[in-house]
Chains A and B, each alone.
Chain A
Amino acid sequence: MESKIEVVELNAGFGSTHVLKNITLSIPRNKVTAIIGPSGCGKSTFVRCLNRIHELVPGAWVRGRVMLDGKNIYDSDADPVEIRRRVGMVFQKPNPFPAMSIFDNVAYGPRIHRMKNIQEVVEDSLRKAALWDEVRHRLKDSPVSLSGGQQQRLCIARALAVKPEVILFDEPCSALDPVSTAKIEELILELKESYTIVIVTHNMQQAARVADYTAFFLMGELIEFGETAQIFENPRDKRTEDYITGRFG
């Protein structure tokens, strides 16, 4: 297993609250890694440390290393803007930009990065996000007219358009119905061919369906990490077993 991201002794929090405690974890290249755990266990904070979005919240702090292709993204000479282009993110609730058209939403990233062939990049990204056929005739419309599931796929297309290497999904289906959820999951499985994917989910069935590897977090600590089948069928830690069998959380 070749790793894309190596997290080494990562600690993070807000002010005096210590959210993540000494996390050390390898995220394998071109695989789907799920982060599971009960609410408040730090799984969202963890992925938000992987693209330096966490530090934007007032009072937030990070210590430790996150090696992306062997280079620490928290080095003083690392450029957070470039890191965020390489490590894309899809959020809990669909957040298309309502003041822009569907096309402009996807073109936003390529434009700020002065990429070429914007037209092609937009179409290609919408196709990869399985949205092209539904929006090809209404690219000038507002994204507000789309359903929640379509909006979330638009956000995925928007993230793909800047050609990231890693995509972080922070509970991407928590606001969606089961049909839309199934579509997003299908999409994630297709995307892992070309991208490294990390998905936070509170839904264990979802982790079992899409993830190659699963990490179980509890109260800010990494309890167990391994292949998804092993975590679900044969957990080594009692606490993982308790969580998976639904005894708490």
Chain B
Amino acid sequence: MLALAALLLLVLIRDSWSAISTFGAGFLLSTEWNPVAGRFGALPFIYGTLVSSLLALAIGVPLSLGIAVYLTEIASPRVRAILTPVIELLAAIPSVIIGLWGIFVLAPFVREHLAEPLMEHLGFLPLFKGPAYGYSVLTASLVLAIMIIPIISSISREAILAVPRLQKEGALALGATRFEMITSVVLPYARGAIFGAIMLGLGRAIGETMAVTMVIGNTPKLFTSLLHPGYTMAAVIANEFTEATGDLYLSALIEIGLILFIISMLVNVLARLVIRHVRVPGGA
């Protein structure tokens, strides 16, 4: 597995060598993406990927944990039996279909119903400055959030189910309410696995291509407003690879692939290191 990853890394480096040698470290810092002039910079894509993924986590994680807690501790067995497979089924929807739904339903919704109140009440923040486009970073993050909810919620659900009954009864026997038991004993006990689930979700969000490119607006700029369009690394590769003319253009796209690969690896390694610290001894 490690050898395969190393081989992949080598191929990516070889094929992006002409871009690496032409632009050097400037490739990571430049915001210019001008195929006609032959000048390429990756910063808007790196930035777009990170912002949209983290925003997706910010939206998706609380919802996922809420769903996991509801399904394990609150829902009646009947509701649980119906909802659990429904949420897991969300993971089976092809991302291009979610992208289409994003175009026809979510983007208009964001433009007409969500952006308005955001601009009105939070418009003083650069984050929510208008004008509002339907195809925006916010729309892309919402789509990503929907795509990572099934992963994070189902792994968290398993982790919560694995919390021993003796732990829960220990809290209740001290006079804890159900809510106190969940927030102070159950979730902390399962935090190792929940953190792992969040990292898996982040990995998915960083790599997701099709659904994002369909709704993010594909504009290589360092946006400040979430209501404006952006671009991600995966999206630019998918959009421009087939029409890339010239070796340098192609090589620059492959270098973006290389960066995406490295960032994904880093997230993974970092997650493993952190999990070792947050995991509860004897816990999940």
- Partner-B contacts on A (CB < 8 A): 51, 53, 56, 58, 81-82, 84-85, 88-89, 91, 93, 95-100, 108-109, 112-113, 142, 144, 155, 158-159, 162
Nearest-Cβ distance from residue A77 to partner chain B, whole angstroms: 17
Q: Contacts A97-B185, A98-B283 given: A82-B169 contact, CB under 8 Å?
A: no
Q: Contacts A98-B283, A144-B282 given: A81-B167 contact, CB under 8 Å?
A: no
Whether the Cβ atoms of A97 and B175 lie closer than 8 Å is no
Nearest-Cβ distance from residue A13 to partner chain B, whole angstroms: 18
- Residues from chain A with a CB closer than 8 A to the CB of B274 are none
- A-facing mask of B157-200, CB < 8 A → 1, else 0? 00000001011111111111100100011001101000000000
A142 to B175, CA, bound (A): 22
- Residues from chain A with a CB closer than 8 A to the CB of B174 are 84-85, 88, 108-109, 112, 158-159, 162
Q: Does B246 contact A (CB under 8 A)?
A: no
- Residues from chain A with a CB closer than 8 A to the CB of B184 are 108, 112
Task: Name the contact of B177 in the complex, choosing from A56, A81, A96 (C-beta under 8 A).
Answer: A81
A186 to B180, CA, bound (A): 33
- Partner-A contacts on B (CB < 8 A): 77, 164, 166-177, 180, 184-185, 188-189, 191, 280-283
Chain B interface mostly: helix
- Residues from chain A with a CB closer than 8 A to the CB of B168 are 56
Q: Contacts A112-B180, A144-B282 given: A155-B170 contact, CB under 8 Å?
A: yes
Nearest-Cβ distance from residue B77 to partner chain A, whole angstroms: 8
Whether the Cβ atoms of B166 and A98 lie closer than 8 Å is no
Q: 7 tightest A-B contacts by CB?
A: A85-B175, A99-B188, A89-B173, A109-B174, A144-B281, A95-B170, A95-B166
- Residues from chain A with a CB closer than 8 A to the CB of B177 are 81, 112
A159 to B172, CA, bound (A): 11
Considering only CB atoms, which chain B residue lies closest to A104 in the complex?
B184
Whether the Cβ atoms of A53 and B175 lie closer than 8 Å is no
A85 to B170, CA, bound (A): 12
A97 to B181, CA, bound (A): 11
Considering only CB atoms, which chain B residue lies closest to A98 in the complex?
B280
- Residues from chain B with a CB closer than 8 A to the CB of A112 are 174-177, 180, 184
A108 to B188, CA, bound (A): 13
A162 to B184, CA, bound (A): 16
A82 to B171, CA, bound (A): 13
A113 to B174, CA, bound (A): 9
Task: Name the contact of A113 in the complex, choosing from B175, B185, B188 (C-beta under 8 A).
Answer: B175
